[in-house]
Structure 1
Amino acid sequence: MGLFRRTPKTPTPPAAPRVEAAPPTTAMPIIRGDLEAELAAELDGGAPVRGAAFSGRGLRLQHPPEAEFAAAHAQTFADAVRNIDGITLDYSVESLRTVDGVLGNFEEPGSDAVAETVLAAGFYVGEVMVRQHGYRWVETPEHVPLRAPFDLLVVGPKGDYSNPLSKAFKRVENGPEDSVAYFVVAMVAAADRD
């Protein structure tokens, strides 16, 4: 049994209200499989114990959290998943289901306790957008409001900004309603409509 497959303790009610709930929209049908049903089942499973949210503490990273090292951070996450759980992540949108599962297992210790791994997962999410949908990593421009401790976003071919790093932390802090798989599908679908 790997690090990412632990059994959560007995659930207790969440201490704080959830932030930025993302209900399924019309973008959902483009996901292969029945992710919408899986998310609904996970949401109905009861409230897990949630650890402390990321405090903004200093992180121990192999590389700075900068655009030029984004792929290296993503690969660190992919390597950890392969080494611990024997699952190979292939940078496909479908692989984000596995990322959701890994991040879901971190709810109990909370994003602050495993911030380095959550950040690496966020880089993996962003790299899926970069490799599959033509996004690129950029420092947050002054005209884009930033509500995160990391000054790094991805921008799509049509100029749409996304924050996969913060989304990974939200997945741990808020649960399946902040699915990273859904996030990527929704962002790409919205950009395609524009």
Structure 2
Amino acid sequence: MKPTVADMMKAYAEDAVELAEKLGVKLDYSEDSIMSLEGILQRYHEELPRGVRRMFSRGPSEQEKIQMSKAWGGYLGETMIRHLGGEWQRSSVSEDTIALVVSKVIDGEEYPHEIYPPSKVYRRIINGPEDNVWHYYLVLKEDLSCDPAQSAEPCQEL
């Protein structure tokens, strides 16, 4: 039987937990562990060669960055599923893209949204703190819990 997208992403998440352990970081799928993940991703970002250093240091290949993004993004997504719900699927936009489909409830109706934890992790590694995964999680959590019909404050948009 061929593994599903969910099976693959769970396996990536387990790889991330093992790799984090080798780095001396405990990842336990708690919300707080996303802050620990953010610290790991900051390390990766700092290790990327920039400027003149790029001429003398190879750094990770594009394929290695993509693999790291799948593992750490798998962990981020699995943590989101445990706390916010959702399920892994192939993106409706691109068959090559892995999406986490989460639902926002508005006026009692569920509206599915695709988010892309592996892509977010990739941007975090490349761009640095401006793509902070902890802040991303907090905004997503707030947005998913906000029903415009029930809230005096405007809701964030996914």
| d(CA) in 2 for partners of 1:111, 1:124 | 21
Deviates more, 1:132-141 or 1:171-180: 132-141
Match of 2:140 in 1: 187
Equivalent AA in structure 1 for residue 97 of structure 2: D
Q: Could you say what the CA RMSD is over the residues aligned between the two structures, in angstroms?
A: 2.3
* Greater Rg by CA: 2
Match of 1:115 in 2: 66
TM-score of the superposition, structure 1-length normalised?
A: 0.58
Higher relative strand content? 2
Q: Name the aligned partner's letter for residue 166 of structure 1.
A: S
Aligned to 2:109: none
Equivalent residues, number = 126
Percent identity among equivalent residues? 28
Match of 1:97 among 14, 32, 35: 35
2:10 to 71, 85, 92: 71
- Whether contact under 8 Å (1:160, 1:191) holds in the other structure is no
Name which structure has the greater RCO, CA cutoff 8 Å, separation 6+. 1
Instruction: Confirm or deny: 8 A CA contact 1:111 1:172 kept in the other structure.
Output: no
Equivalent residue number for residue 83 of structure 2: 132
Is structure 2 residue 102 aligned with structure 1 residue 156? yes
Aligned partners of 2:66, 2:103: CA distance in 1, in Å? 29
Contact 2:9 2:70 in 1 (8 A): no
Distance 1:100 1:164, change over 3 A: same
Structure 2 unaligned segments of length 5 or more: list them.
Answer: 49-58, 105-111, 148-158
SS of equivalent to 2:103: coil
Does the C-alpha gap of structure 1 residues 65 and 125 become closer, same or farther in structure 2, counting only changes over 3 Å? farther
Give the match's secondary structure for 2:72. helix
Query: Which of 14, 24, 27 is equivalent to 1:86?
Result: 24
Deviates more, 1:98-107 or 1:125-134: 98-107
Q: Give 1:120 shift.
A: 0.2
Summarize deviations over 1:127-176 as a string: whole Å, max 9, x none.
011111111111112xxx45xx9421111133122110100000011101
TM-score of the superposition, structure 2-length normalised?
0.70
Tell me, which stretches of 5 or more residues in structure 1 are unaligned?
1-62
Higher helix fraction (1 or 2):
2
